[in-house]
Structure 1
Amino acid sequence: MFNVLRAEPKTTFEYGPFRIRRMRPGQIQPELNDDAFGPLSVIDHATLEQGTLVKMHEHNNDEILSYMWRGSMVHEDSAGNRVPLSPKQLMMMNAGESFWHEESTPLVSAEMLQIFIRPRTANLEGRVQFMARPDGIKSNEWTLLAAPEGIESPLEIRQAVYVYDIRMDEQTTTQIPSHAGFAQWLYVMDGEINIGDVTLSKGDAISDEESGLSAATAGKDTTLVCFLVCLGAQAILEGTISGK
């Protein structure tokens, strides 16, 4: 049984050149009685105009994936990193006990997802990871971006969550990633897809508890981000954002 969460403009808020549409993934399935979808807590679809500066600030106990779809952003942090992020360079910040960072867009605007996941336990070591992919998002082939500890992947999440992406050409069809015991939560970053008799456009999401989503066909060039989530995974609520 699948569930659909439509893009809601009323969930968007702005701070000058910084605009966010905040999603609570669990709202796709009200019977869960939790705004989080298992440990997948918050997804911000953000647009940062050129010249945006989000000053140095602290996170605690958040696992944060910065998924860049368009443009570029400069990341600086308390570990001394200063790294440009783009669709060719993603970042996973495992905030743990404490981690400070700053974001800016000095050259061009950016559109991205900032994904907040509840870690398995509190006050782990704070750290940051980067994933370089010189060719950007692959066309018509799923890429594993991040996975739980112990699974070989470019980025490590300290939780039972997998993240994939794909760029689909118009009128192509793809099977949705799945793993036994993990629920699917699929997001349309851009474009349009059809799954069965359901059409989803930019900002829409669809999920299935049983990892049973049927194949998706792109109505136009489309970018998808897929989360596989163990809904019953142990998670803590101490996160700066993910714990709310």
Structure 2
Amino acid sequence: MIRIIRSNERYLAEHGWLTSRFSFSFAEYYDPANLSFGPMRVQNDDIIQPGTGFGMHPHKEMEIVTYVISGQLQHEDSTGNREVLRAGELQRMSAGTGIFHSEVNPSAEEPVHLLQMWFLPETRGLTPSYEQKGFDREARIDKLLPVVSNRQYDGNLHIHQDMTIYLSTLQAGSEINYTTQTDRRTHLFVIDGSLTLNGDKMAQGDAARIQQVADLHLATGTGAEFMLIDLP
């Protein structure tokens, strides 16, 4: 089964300094039929205005992955990490037994656009940890590049869940195939451009939740950037 969620079907939260679209129940948005997809609990598509952001706040027992699409995001946490994520970079924070962190747009002029995802960990009670990395954009042209996984690839970030996050940039006229097991879930999100998924058209901001389908064919006429997540 392939279920496509259009960009404008997501919940829109507009706070002036923050524009966010929630793919799952979050904050003031609650839908008991839309709580999660396997261990994937949150996917927020955020735009944070210059000089604003989230002050120190707590998290516990969650694997949090952030991908900066454009702009910069300054991260600071209670374990001593203080970093700036730039466009194309990812961070993985394991909240474990408990962590406080802040996320602020350090720019005085440019908004930051990011995707943030939360996943339930396989094991509770982990020691909080953090890592971030940028990946060569050339390495994901017309291929799936594993960037976050519980498996060991070439320099990927590690996550405490049986899953892998891939990034890909398809050039105009390109196509790619992905094969998984029918008992796995696949989540697809179009970051930019447009593509077809097994013949179904998808545009920027659209997502697909895929179950019991092993073979996926993705193609684009004009180019597309997307994130594919393999989940249990």
C-alpha offsets along residues 122-162 of structure 1, whole Å, 9 cap, x if unaligned? 221111111232557732221101112xx104111111121
Structure 1 stretches (4+) deviating beyond 6 angstroms? none
> 1: CA distance between counterparts of 2:62 and 2:189?
21
**Partner amino acid, structure 2, of 1:192:** S
Relative distance call for 1:152 and 1:10 in structure 2 (3 A) is closer
1:127-206 alignment to 2 at 5 Å? 127-133=129-135, 135=137, 138-148=140-150, 151-153=151-153, 154-176=156-178, 178=180, 181-206=183-208
Segments of structure 2 that go 5 or more residues without pairing to the other structure are: 26-32
> 1: CA distance between counterparts of 2:59 and 2:166?
24
Segments of structure 1 that go 5 or more residues without pairing to the other structure are: 26-32, 231-244
C-alpha offsets along residues 184-236 of structure 1, whole Å, 9 cap, x if unaligned? 11111111101233101111112322342431111322111001110xxxxxx
SS in 2 for 1:8: helix
Q: Higher strand share goes to which structure?
A: 2
In 2, are the aligned partners of 1:177 and 1:226 still within 8 Å (CA)? Answer: no
State the Cα RMSD in Å: 2.2
C-alpha offsets along residues 12-44 of structure 1, whole Å, 9 cap, x if unaligned? 10222211101129xxxxxxx662111111100
**Partner amino acid, structure 1, of 2:46:** A
Identity %: 23
1:79-158 alignment to 2 at 5 Å? 79-107=79-107, 108-133=110-135, 135=137, 138-148=140-150, 151-153=151-153, 154-158=156-160
> 1: CA distance between counterparts of 2:199 and 2:98?
46
SS in 2 for 1:215: strand
Which position in structure 2 is the counterpart of 1:54?
Answer: 54
> 1: CA distance between counterparts of 2:16 and 2:9?
17
**Partner amino acid, structure 1, of 2:4:** V
SS in 1 for 2:216: coil
Relative distance call for 1:207 and 1:91 in structure 2 (3 A) is same
